[in-house]
Each structure stands twice: as structure tokens, then as C-alpha cells.
Chains A and B, each alone.
Chain A
């Protein structure tokens, strides 16, 4: 089983739609969680950190469920510019381990 699993998609949604991605992780000791966005042939860029209490940034909402070991990202009112790959990232889990473990990414295409 992969340490971080995501549905690769693609998710094709019309503009204005609400779309949600889930990600599961295997290491229950994992400490930090992030969503990164990656545009085609570009580097990953931080979209948002994911906190236990959940957090929201404009149209984006991230949730963490430690009991079930999954993370979610909700995008409301999708824009054409949201088209990208969304990478689920898990950090930590072993004392002194700071490397990121990435999922394969979920491709989103927002259609006009």
C-alpha cells in the first residue's frame, strides 16, 4: 500500500462547480499535512496547510480526519484557473523525519 494515496482523476468539472478530493495516508504518526498545487511543467506550490480543526482560504477548504487517516480538499465555485494537479502531502511520522511524502496528484480540469 502506498503511504499517500489519491485518485489520479482527471476530474472534469464545469465552471462554478464544487469539487472535492480525498487523500488517505498510512502512517498514523504523521504530523503535518498539506495540499500543493502543480501546474503543467511547473514546480509544486503550497496551496494550504491542513489543520485538525479544518481551515478555509477563500474558495478552498481543507479537512483532516486523523481517526480515518484522510485529508480532503473542497473547491467551491471552480474557476478555469483552478485547472491543475493537486498534490496531497504528508510530513513527519518518525522523530526527525522531515521529508514530504507526496501522493500521485489529482488532475482537475475546469471547463468553460
Chain B
């Protein structure tokens, strides 16, 4: 079946602009996660949704970052007033449920470059 998809695959923007990154999870997966990966580092947790609600947003670096999942499926990560330090690969993952043993499946990521 279809895996996790993310759009766009690449996004180049200028400092100070607003961007939206989209994630389409595996059908039937109730849990959705956003991570950020910088060069040479492992992915870093940003936010986790169970259904429509953000169950854990402790990884969002500041209030310029916001994410929604209004219908419990597709999620959008929104970044306001982008900064050069926001440049990274943004990964989305989904899992069947919130169990700690459930495997998280990752999308191909969106590579964000802030000039």
C-alpha cells in the first residue's frame, strides 16, 4: 500500500517568509509525528498527534512553529518568519496507534532551505 507522503520534496524560501509543509500518513494510522533532521544528526522530535489533537508538542523550538491535523489524517507543519537556522529536512512519520511498540513509518521528507 501507499506509504507516508510529503510535499513538497524541496522548498527554498527567503528569510522571513512563511512556509507550509504537508504530510499524508498511511491510511488508518492514527498517530502522526513530525521530526527535523539537520546534517550529520539524527532526527529530532517536534510534535506528535493522536487523531486531531497534538498530544505532545514539546519539541517545537519556538512559537514560529505550528502544526495542525484538522481531520485526523493529513497534517501541515507551518513555519512563520523563517530563519536560516530552520534549514533542515523535515520528516513526517505515522504509526497505527500510540503504543510505544508500534513502528513509526517515515515519509521521504521535505528539504527546507532558507536563504
Chain A residues packing against B (C-beta within 8 Å): 4, 8, 31-32, 34, 42-46, 49, 87, 91-92, 96-105
Contacts and interface: CB of A to CB of B under 8 A. Distances in A.
B41 interface: yes
Contacts of A97: 56
Interface residues of B, number: 28
A92 B100 CA distance: 6
A38 B45 CA distance: 17
Nearest to A104: B42
Given A104-B41, A105-B42, A98 B107 contact: no
Interface in B46-70: 48, 55-56, 59
A107 to B, nearest CB: 9
A99 B109 contact: no
B35 to A, nearest CB: 8
User: Which residue, of A4, A92, A99, A100, has the highest number of chain B Cβ atoms within 10 A?
Assistant: A99
Nearest to B97: A98
A97 to B, nearest CB: 7
Contacts of B79: none
Contact of B48 (A46, A92, A99, A101): A99
